[in-house]
Amino acid sequence: MAHATTQTSAETIAQFDRYVIPNYRRYPVCLVRGEGSLVWDAEGRQYLDFFPGWGCNLLGHCPPRLVEAVREQVGQLIHVPNTWYMEAQGQFAQALSERSFGGQAFFCNSGAEANEAAIKLARVYGSAQGKYKIMTMEHGFHGRTYAALSATAQPKYHQGFEPMVPGFTYVAHNDLAAAEAAFDAETAAILIEPIQGEGGINLPADGYLEGLRALCDKHGALLMMDEVQTGLGRTGEWFAYQHYGFVPDVLTCAKALAGGIAAGVMLAKREVAAVLKPGMHASTFGGNPIACRAGLAAIETIEEEGLLVRGEAIGERFRTHFEQMRADRPDLVKDIRIRGVMIGLELTVDASTVVAESLNRQLLINATHGTVIRLLPALTISDQQVDEGCALLAEILSGLPAS
């Protein structure tokens, strides 16, 4: 069997055309190697990556401590099922609990799965009182499996897949009065991203999340944070809710949870988690030793290298560059939304042309919601790399026609 680097990008693309279901829009580039914020394609071209691993590679590509931990674990124990105790899973659960609200963990492999677990937990928890509805917010994103997709209040993702799972109530984001009006005696929980990612890096309005906490307390419902994208240090705290003055009942995290190794988790307060009994929920690979060792290595790296604080500094460096872009092109730059290394630059025009032009210049970025440039850079990116990439972006914007 051929090693990936023995094929040209064109050969790999041809193989995909023949054998891989085309459910993704892919750039015509085959990436073969990565280090920090740099990646290389099969032809040896180097790219600066402002969106490593779609938010999963929070420590950059192949962070050394994580690579070492995985190498060691692979030689010791690759997988054992959850019918056994495993040291790494227990240690990772403790590490996450101590860095959040002291709850307990259920491990899985992705964000959608973590949200499925949270939705099922809320249903079981509420069932004694006839509560089953989950409230979610417009422009939110919770994943592609059926319940997570049904929780995603964006009709464009439902098209062709209806009927959705019943029992979800959609309300306008950042509108506390709308949430209050939508509550009823059957509402079991609110599921919300503290900062909407796919929806365009939408920050919560002042007091909004705290207001939802108060509403949930008043109505006896669970407050569940989808921190799949914001979690494990992306925003300058371990979890984004920690910027605000409240504690959730349930939290989900994936993406960066294990520094790029597939992993997901649902954390729940002990008294809430207690309703899940053996046999009620499971995931074969969830909490496997490799993912948990990688997750522990990610936490160690962030702590030992002071990366939570560094993340805030990186975000501010981007802000300075973006403010200059806004001053230069006020017709193009509509808004700047940044929290740590979760970065949004809203344009007045379609952002996909900027993404394409960036790729031509070997800079990898993302656009979401049509007009928002979304960057999820690594916490290990250097100031020089931030400056280089932003200079390219500024150049691209300056070449766009007046809007």
CB 397 → ligand PLP: shortest distance, Å?
Answer: 26
Contact present, 288 and 73 (Cβ < 8 Å) = no
Residues annotated as part of the active site:
141, 226, 255
Residue ranges in 183-212 that form contacts with ligand PLP under rule CB under 6 A: 193, 197-198
Which of 61, 142, 173, 293 is close enough to bind ligand PLP by CB under 6 A? Answer: 142
Q: Which residue is nearest to ligand PLP (CB)?
A: 111
Alpha-carbon torsion, ordered 189, 91, 95, 252, to 10 deg: -30
Query: Would you count residue 249 as binding ligand PLP (CB under 6 A)?
Result: no
For residue 72, CA distances in Å to 66, 69, 369 come to 10, 5, 41
Q: Judged by CB under 6 A, does residue 106 bind ligand PLP?
A: no
* Sheet (strand 333-339) strand order: 333-339, 342-347, 372-375, 366-368
Sign of torsion, CA 201 256 246 224? Answer: positive
- Containing 159, the helix (H) or strand (E) segment is none
User: Taking Cα atoms as reference points, which of 117, 369, 377, 350 lies closest to residue 250?
Assistant: 117
228 binds ligand PLP (CB under 6 A): yes
* CB atoms inside a 10 Å sphere around CB 22: 8
CB of 198 to ligand PLP, least distance (A): 5
| Distance in angstroms (rounded) separating the CA atoms of residues 10 and 13 | 5
Is 111 an interacting residue with respect to ligand PLP (CB under 6 A)? yes
**Please, which residue, 228 or 276, has the CB nearer to ligand PLP?**
228
* 229 in contact with ligand PLP (CB under 6 A): yes
Query: Quick one: how far is CA 296 from the chain centroid?
Result: 18
Looking at the Cβ atoms of 73 and 109, the one nearer to ligand PLP is: 109
Site string for ligand PLP, 61-100 (x = CB under 6 A): ----------------------------------------
Q: CB of 282 within 8 A of CB of 251?
A: no
237 binds ligand PLP (CB under 6 A): no
**Please, which of residues 371-400 interact with ligand PLP by CB under 6 A?**
none
Contacts with ligand PLP by CB under 6 A lie at 110-112, 115, 141-143, 193, 197-198, 226, 228-229, 254
